[in-house]
Structure 1
Amino acid sequence: MMDINQKSPACKDLVHQIISCHPGLPVIAISGNPKIQSIVKKLGLAAFLLMPFMLKELYHIVENPFAGQALKCI
């Protein structure tokens, strides 16, 4: 799970590095910026949570992290 900042290219680079080094590992993005949702799928992230979020929302995502590759936006 990582906090994504749309203005930081380092975030995008880190996502690409994680995905290429650990294919199949679901990466969850969190952000206080709702505009980030539009780039989450492009980056290949497994899910997105808009901060602040409830722990039950996070639990719902990590409960079955390998269930499909579809993007989940909560």
Structure 2
Amino acid sequence: MTSIVKQRAAHEPLYDINPQTGATIEVFYADRALETFGWKGAGWFWWARRRGHSPAGSPRGPFATRYAAYRDAMTAAGPAF
């Protein structure tokens, strides 16, 4: 049972919020089951969103690691984040 819990924790989404602007990014893992919905494959993705709203646009990715997706989000999100 503990191996299942550890695996779930490894794929938990990551959220970061800019306290000044309220801009939010979400970094999340998507597996191959989502390919049927037009996703590009398994891996880590990110998208920008405003608090309490749906994401605007498509997610960026896939990235090999959560950190790679987060770094790309920090670069692409720009000064609003």
Alignment TM-score > 0.5, same fold: no
Report the structure, 1 or 2, having the larger strand content: 2
**TM-score normalised to structure 1 length:** 0.31
Q: Based on CA coordinates, which of the two structures has the bigger radius of gyration?
A: 2
